[in-house]
Amino acid sequence: MKKIILNSLLLFTSLIYCQSKENDERYFKFQYDTIVEKTFVLDFEKLFDQTETKELNNLILDFEKATSIEIAIITFDEKYKSDEDFHQNTLFVANWIGIGKKELNNGILIGISKKSRKIRIENGTGIESILTDEETKSIIDNSFIPYFKEKQMYKGTLVGIKKLIEILKVKLEQGRSK
């Protein structure tokens, strides 16, 4: 009897989890497919105006053309109760929209939620060998967050991305000179 109850509970939990993932996938697929011009900036929380979005997108596009590294920004318009929920959703979106070149796994997704006061940078495995977790944390703490605390979301995002690009360029150049 215990086995039947345990298996039933496990099946029920799995169904709820799958349904939740399916709903998330449908939501992001709908949101992403409704964007006419594909972009590296998906601003669902409406943190940036059109000019700011275009500037961020152009900065990232220029970097991608020079290095093949893709950086994407997504802002989430919902409130997350835990860091783990935010992390899981950011990771899901990074994998779902396929940031980076598949064979190089060189994508970076920056997830931001002003409502939840959270930011996360997901580095593809091809980036992890270039940029350490400590460096990523330092970029968040020293470039993004000081401006976010002042409610300057665009400025913090711009400064953070510029710092990220600067560090990656230096590291890539060091790698070439070896």
8 — pLDDT class (breaks 50, 70, 90): very low
Give me the pLDDT at residue 25, please: 52
pLDDT (mean) for 73-98: 82
In this predicted model, what pLDDT tens digit does every residue of 100-125 receive, in sequence order? 788 888 899 999 999 989 999 999 88
Q: What pLDDT is recorded for position 28? A: 52
Tell whether the model's pLDDT for residue 46 goes beyond 80.
yes
pTM of the model: 0.77
Q: What is the pLDDT of residue 139?
A: 97
Q: Which helix (H) or strand (E) holds 120?
A: strand 118-123
What per-residue confidence (pLDDT) applies to 91?
Answer: 81
Tokens of 116: 């939840």
Q: How far apart are CA 75 and CA 68, in angstroms?
A: 23
Q: Which of 135, 136, 69, 76 is nearest to 105 (CA)?
A: 69
Between 154 and 7, the higher pLDDT residue: 154
pLDDT in tens, 16-33: 444 444 455 555 544 444
Mean pLDDT of the 39-52 span: 92
Cross-strand bridge partners of residue 110: 73, 121
Q: Residue 75 contacts by C-beta under 8 Å, 6 or more apart in sequence? A: 42, 43, 44, 45, 46, 47, 48, 111, 112, 113, 114
For every residue of 54-86, DSSP letters joined together read HHHHHHHHHHHHHH--EEEEEE--S--SSHHHH
The residues pairing with 22 across neighbouring beta strands, listed in sequence order, are: none
